[in-house]
């Protein structure tokens, strides 16, 4: 989900529906994404995100995670895996 990383890169809170890829990623990044299983939960997480007044460190952490998952870094990882497979 490319938009997710763009939002994180802007330091914004992110809310998503519970998709397998999102759940797996969220586990990797210490549950930085608000994941909703229901419509009501989605509304609630959006309200919390809009009302949040986060400190600089939280915003910087989101941006750091987005850099890790940048298109350039993900391409490097794919090349590395292909190289390992071919070796």
pTM score, two decimals? 0.78
Token pair 């490319």 is found at 2
Token pair 């007044």 is found at 53
What would the pLDDT profile of 14-34 be if each residue is shown by its tens digit? 999 999 999 999 999 999 999
Give pLDDT, residue 87: 67
What would the pLDDT profile of 40-72 be if each residue is shown by its tens digit? 999 999 999 999 888 999 999 999 999 998 889
Handedness of CA 11, 31, 48, 53 (dihedral sign): negative
Token pair 């910087």 is found at 60
- 85 has a pLDDT exceeding 90: no
What's the whole-number mean pLDDT along residues 7-16? Answer: 94
Give pLDDT, residue 71: 86
Strand segments, DSSP code E, in 1-87 are 15-17, 34-36
């Amino acid at each position: 989900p490319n938009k997710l990383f763009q939002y994180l890169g802007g330091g914004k809170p992110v809310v998503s529906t519970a998709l397998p890829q999102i759940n797996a990623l969220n586990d990797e990044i210490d549950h930085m994404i608000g994941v909703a299983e229901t419509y009501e939960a989605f509304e609630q997480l959006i309200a919390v995100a809009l009302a949040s007044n986060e400190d600089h460190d939280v915003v910087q952490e989101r941006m750091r995670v987005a850099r890790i998952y940048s298109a350039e870094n993900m391409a490097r990882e794919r090349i590395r895996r292909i190289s390992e497979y071919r070796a």
